Amino acid sequence: MLEIKKDYVVKKDYVVTDDNRKRAVLIDIETFEKVEETLESFGLGRYMEEVEGEEILSSDSARRYYNALKKD
């Protein structure tokens, strides 16, 4: 499950249009990397839950399956 720290403050700047409407958000690279890592971990966790219970292939079976995919 995705854990959100409520005390974490994201420093952000806004890009605004000529009529002062928010158009985009700028965050520092460190914050972006943390967000990216969190999303990737969340996605991997969801995928792992999705395939739970599926057949587990031996390494030889996995190689044969992969090689068959490359030919298509």
pLDDT band of 1, cuts 50, 70, 90? very low
Binned at pLDDT 50, 70 and 90, residue 24 comes out as: very high
Number of domains in the chain: 1
Is 32 part of any domain?
Answer: yes
* Residue 6 forms part of a structural domain: no
In a domain, 5, yes or no: no
Global confidence as pTM = 0.51
Q: Higher confidence at residue 31 or residue 6?
A: 31
Q: What's the chain's average pLDDT?
A: 85
Domain range for 52 is 12-71
Mean pLDDT of 48-59: 84
Is the per-residue pLDDT at 19 higher than 50?
yes
The β-bridge partners of 26 are 13
Instruction: Specify if 45 maps to a domain.
Output: yes
DSSP class of residue 54 equals S
- Strand bridging mode 12-16 / 22-27: antiparallel
Query: What tokens were used for 53?
Result: 């219970």
Is residue 27 in a domain?
yes
Decide if 30 is inside a domain.
yes
pLDDT confidence of residue 51: 84
Do 46 and 56 meet the contact criterion of CB atoms below 8 Å apart?
no
